[in-house]
Structure 1
Amino acid sequence: MEQVTADTLKQAGKVIAVHLAYQSRADQRGRTPANPSYFLKASSSLSLSGSDIERPAGCELMAYEGEIALVIGTAARRVSPEEAWSHVGYVTASNDLGIYDIKYADKGSNVRSKSGDGFTPFGPALIPAADVDPAGLRVRTWLNGEPVQDDTTAGLIFPFSQIVADLSQLMTLEPGDVILTGTPAGSSVAVPGDVIEVEVDAPAAGLSTGRLRTTVTQGTAEFAAFGNQPKVSDADREDAWGSAEAAGLTPKGLSADLKRKLTSVGTATLSAQLRKRGLNNVSIDGLKSTRPELRIAGTARTLRYVPNREDLFKTHGGGYNAQKRIINTLNDGEVLVMEARGEPGTGTVGDILALRAQINGAAAIVTDGGVRDVAAVAALDMPTFFTGAHPAVLGRKHIPWDTDLTISCGGATVQPGDIIVGDSDGVLVIPPSLAEEVADDAIVQEHQETFIAEMVSEGNSVEGLYPMNAAWKAKFNDWAATHPNPAAQ
């Protein structure tokens, strides 16, 4: 097969990269796009197999992304998806390297973070596109000989024909142009001394690019003072490494201990503690639970519905819409909170999607709208908090519009990452920064109230006891010495 050479690299007038294209990567990132989006890399970032790639001095996070690269064979302008593949000349392997340390300065463009010299290794062999089925390709990546990425084009959200056709709507794709088609799950960070290998093959056709090999080296030239300097946040580290755990960070979400504390006390007690801190508008009102015997605590993911307008429903309501995308990407311990404007006249979720949320490990669904298939939803282990039952599908009143943003639900403001607790009394929103102290003080309060209830049951008056005066506090302390608080253990 023909090999990628320096002349091949010179023929690439454009290098276009897809942001997110594989479902495995979307699941890892917690979001699934409705349509493909793109960024440009400098053609000078292309490099041959066997090249050494420098991690710039002062930088911490060089991330690798094994990808399938398409090389345009004949010019494409306003082509249809059915025509698109015929304009692809070759398929090969690529590594979409990038420096997270400078992403903040690019403001989403990736101009510098992804376009360093050599940051797009490419090759080594070119597989003729006409000889393979684009739906039957595989991409694999190895880091120091260990497999780290393995996926096939069956896992694409957007087929290659759609990507080529979409790009050709506004620009002419010219012979030699390169399209990097996105990376699957498993992308992570490489450090100086690491060897990264990427291979693309078509198993059914018995064709392979061979392994694209790149060695990471340490740069010595510092960034000049007249430009942006490298800097990273913990969010960058988590993004680059692929998870908080891989980055050595405390994982997002509730710790097991905090979840235990929050679910050991009632929302009534937590509400009292929030009120002591000046937070009176943190209850999601007017809801009932399908499982009132259960207490839940988790971190919020959010979904906003807007009132139905028929022309907009055609573009946003059908297919793999915002509702399906967020439910499909819920993670363990998350609570999906929906803004439905308090509209009870249609369902906002039904049995199939509620089941999917449960399978994904969601702690609960909270909606200030209706629920359909209530009997089936109530039979699930996962609670759903809702206003009432309604048989209609969501399109009667709603369009699922956007996700993971600040919303209103049941009169309360909810942000992604807020802590949601719920039980038979209702649902509360707890700011994450207050959760530990609120939980600890609520545990103490319930221990005191256990004592108070015991004293009342013995016939004592509530005067001076509820709340306790100094004399009763002294008696409580004596009682507590022999009645340890089980929730505080």
Structure 2
Amino acid sequence: MTTTLVERLGALETPCVSDALDRLGIDGQCAGIMPLDNNFRLVGPAFTVRYVYADERGRSVGDFIDDIPTGTVAVIDNLGRLDATVWGDLMTTIASQRGLGGTVIDGVCRDLDRALEMDYPLFTRAHWMRTGKDRVRLDALEVPVTIGGIGVNPGDLLLGDINGVVVIPADRAEEVIETSEMIRDVEDEIRADILAGSSLRDARARAGYHQLQTRR
């Protein structure tokens, strides 16, 4: 994955990318995963983490944070659980120090105050204080996971903003980003027409707006 693609993706907004995914027939919108602060943004390739319920095989919250490369996004599948956290103060501190792109959790985190203080982007289902210790077990790293109903593979690109999180398969990144940029440019054109006095109906018709998201 080239730095240029990540930079281009980072200049986009998730609604444009979501529309591009629809146009290309790709499921990539993570349902129910939202930023814990409206100013949080993240972009980067996925480093995936999978948790399961603690059982007779043991319990472990894991120290995987030391292994995540700078610039990547920690993508944690905790089965959508709302009863046990898998991310907190210390992980936010070291993730920020190591220059991670952010964290996405299908589940909950805690110590939101630290993330706000450090401006570290967290995207989750909610936040709650109850620890995952003795409740979860780290099952695997860098394997396919599911976040908000969407499959995420190691190296897939993620973009998160005030509207939520989208996932772009690594092997279709160029295509999705190029389509997203086209949609953004068309919407900019429509906006300019409206500000110049056009009706919404006419501006949309001239730009072919209603076909932008139609699958091709």
Q: Shorter-chain TM-score: which interval?
A: 0.7 to 0.9
Matches within 5 A, 1:213-252: none
CA offsets per residue over residues 149-177 of structure 1, 9 Å max, x none?
xxxxxxxxxxxxxxxxxxxxxxxxxxxxx
2:19 corresponds in structure 1 to: 272
Contact 2:77 2:106 in 1 (8 A): yes
The residue that corresponds to 1:290 in the other structure is: 36
Deviation at 1:334, TM superposition (A): 0.6
Deviation at 1:462, TM superposition (A): 2.2
- The one-letter amino acid paired with 2:36 is T
Q: Where does residue 468 of structure 1 map in the other structure?
A: 206
Provide closer, same or farther for how the CA distance between residues 467 and 360 of structure 1 changes in structure 2, counting only shifts above 3 A: farther
Q: Which runs of structure 2 are paired with 1:298-309 in the superposition (5 Å)?
A: 298-309=44-55
Unaligned runs of 5+ in 1: 1-252, 473-489
C-alpha distance 464-372 of structure 1, shift in aligned 2 (>3 A): same
What is the root-mean-square deviation in Å for CA atoms of aligned residues? 2.0
Amino acid at match of 2:32: G
Q: What fraction of aligned residue pairs are identical, expressed as a percent?
A: 25
What is the letter of the counterpart of residue 262 of structure 1? Answer: L
| CA offset digits 1:123-171 (Å, max 9, x no partner) | xxxxxxxxxxxxxxxxxxxxxxxxxxxxxxxxxxxxxxxxxxxxxxxxx
Q: Hey, what's the Cα distance between the residues in 2 that align with 1:453 and 1:332?
A: 37
Compute the TM-score of the two structures, normalised by the length of structure 1: 0.41
Q: Which has the higher contact order (CA 8 A, sep 6+)?
A: 2
Task: Spell out the pairing of 1:41-80 with structure 2 (5 A cutoff).
Answer: none
Higher-helix-fraction structure: 2
Asked whether 1:369 is paired with 2:107, we answer: yes
Paired residue secondary structure (1:437) = helix
Distance 2:75 2:139 in 1: 14
Pick the structure with greater CA Rg: 1
Query: Distance in 1 between the 2:66 and 2:175 partners?
Result: 33
Aligned equivalent of 2:10: 263
Seen in structure 2, the aligned counterparts of structure 1 residues 457 and 357 have a Cα distance that, compared at 3 Å, is same
TM-score by length of 2: 0.88
CA distance in 1, matches of 2:98, 2:207: 49
Q: Give the alignment partner of residue 454 of structure 1, picking from 174, 192, 195.
A: 192
Contact residue 261 and residue 440 of structure 1 kept, 8 A = no
TM-fit CA distance, 1:469: 5.1
1:397 and 1:466, CA in 2 relative to 1: closer, same or farther beyond 3 A?
A: farther
* 1:383 paired to 2:118: no
- On the 8 A contact 2:186/2:207 being kept in 1, the answer is no
- Number of aligned residue pairs: give it: 209
Residue pair 1:273, 1:441 contacting (<8 A) in 2 also: yes
Match of 2:181 in 1: 443
Evaluate the alpha carbon distance shift between residue 350 and residue 458 of structure 1 in structure 2; reply closer, same or farther with a 3 A threshold. same
Letter in 2 for 1:299: P
CA distance in 1, matches of 2:156, 2:171: 9
* Residue 360 of structure 1: how far off its partner (Å): 1.8
